[in-house]
Amino acid sequence: SYTTDTKSREENKKTLESLYSLSVDITKIRRLKEWVLLQDVAYVKEIAGILQEMGADETTVANIIEHCPEAILHTPAEINSQRALWQLVCQNEKQLIKLIEQFPESFFSTEYQQNQKANILFFQELGLKNNIITRFLTSAPNIFYNPVEKNKNVIETLQRNYLNLGGSEANMKTWILKLLSQNPFILLNTSTAIQENLEFLQKNDFTDQEVLQLLSKLKGFIFQLNSTTMQKSMLFSKSIFKCSDQELKQLVLKCPALLYYSVPVLEERLEGLLKEGISIAQIRETPMVLELTTQIVQYRIKKLSALGYDIKSGNLESLNGTKKDFEVTYGKIQSKKERPIFNPVAPLHIED
């Protein structure tokens, strides 16, 4: 445990000298985490040595220490253990050093090494590819801090529910792996929360097949919700779109965001669309437009308007989708606009 009381402490001269010799920008550390420089013991040369052994040059070493100064407070033994751990999923040390440079905080979190190791082995056993596990280690490191039993429990709950909802044994592994790789944070939930959310959907008359469909569409985000917020969002959508329970269900299946986003988010997005002159009827026809932030919607409407495309009279499909989807749609509208109305050498088509 390191002290963060900086008042009556002085910076450790030995630490400063070692950092200077490595060309580390000490002002950056003072600005970020000055408390590191006040500790009585630091392993600057040793940690730098381990990083260099892995193939890091001087600039890379300085970079890593500037971005994650607490790296120098870990013992060489801790870092070597962590190195061995990450090598279980890294192709080689070149890849490992690249990851450490990009995600130093994840690598230098060494408190849960036993759990980390057990979870890495469990994920490999489950069939997750090493490149997916390295992605988890860097972008969702806290799922490795859980005891492996907790993660196993969540996976078993998902498997059991998948089969109970009519999913096939043959597809189960693929489904679980896809769900995990899309959203590893599922593992931060409890088995009880997962169970409650699925029961909520069933109580709201979604068939087993529809619940499975929602799980796949929501990429597991449904497990980060709770029945109270889902209930509020559904009631809000029902009153805005003035629809029956059955119609609401169809809207949710079309656009799971109606279940996932909270009422304030849905309100803000609806307001943004209405300000642009879009009607509730149009939104009800294409509810997926609510998956987009107000800024994205405004930007897309502006681009389409510049081509003379009137969103108020058309349908909203042209606004939908990812950035890539929109660019394809935009390109089609643009080329249609630029195409000559009559080409004298082209064969005539009556429907044109």
What's the rounded Cα separation, in Å, for the pair 78 and 83? 9
In a domain, 55, yes or no: yes
Global pTM value: 0.77
In a domain, 166, yes or no: no
In this prediction, residue 37 carries a pLDDT of 94
In a domain, 58, yes or no: yes
In this prediction, residue 35 carries a pLDDT of 95
Query: Structurally, how many domains does the chain consist of?
Result: 2
Domain range spanning residue 302? 226-336
Tokens standing for residue 218: 């929501």
In this prediction, residue 352 carries a pLDDT of 42
Whether residue 2 contacts residue 43, with contact meaning beta carbons closer than 8 Å, is answered with no
In a domain, 158, yes or no: no
In a domain, 343, yes or no: no
What's the rounded Cα separation, in Å, for the pair 106 and 126? 22
In a domain, 94, yes or no: yes
> End of a domain among 70, 90, 110?
110
Give the closest residue to 99 by CA, choosing from 82, 111, 114, 113.
Answer: 82
Whether residue 37 contacts residue 11, with contact meaning beta carbons closer than 8 Å, is answered with yes
Tens-binned pLDDT, residue by residue, of the chain (352 aa) = 455 554 457 999 999 999 999 999 999 999 989 999 999 999 999 999 999 999 999 999 999 999 999 999 999 999 999 999 999 999 999 999 999 999 999 999 888 999 999 999 999 999 999 999 999 999 999 999 999 999 999 999 999 999 999 989 999 999 999 989 888 988 988 888 888 888 999 999 899 999 988 887 777 777 778 889 999 999 999 999 999 999 999 999 998 889 889 999 999 999 999 998 888 999 999 899 998 899 998 998 888 888 888 887 777 888 888 888 888 888 888 887 766 555 555 554 544 4
Tell me which DSSP letter residue 314 carries: S
Tell me which DSSP letter residue 39 carries: -
What's the rounded Cα separation, in Å, for the pair 122 and 150? 11
In this prediction, residue 15 carries a pLDDT of 94
> End of a domain among 110, 141, 173?
110
In a domain, 159, yes or no: no
The DSSP string of 250-268 is HHHHH-THHHHS-HHHHHH
In a domain, 68, yes or no: yes
> End of a domain among 60, 79, 110?
110
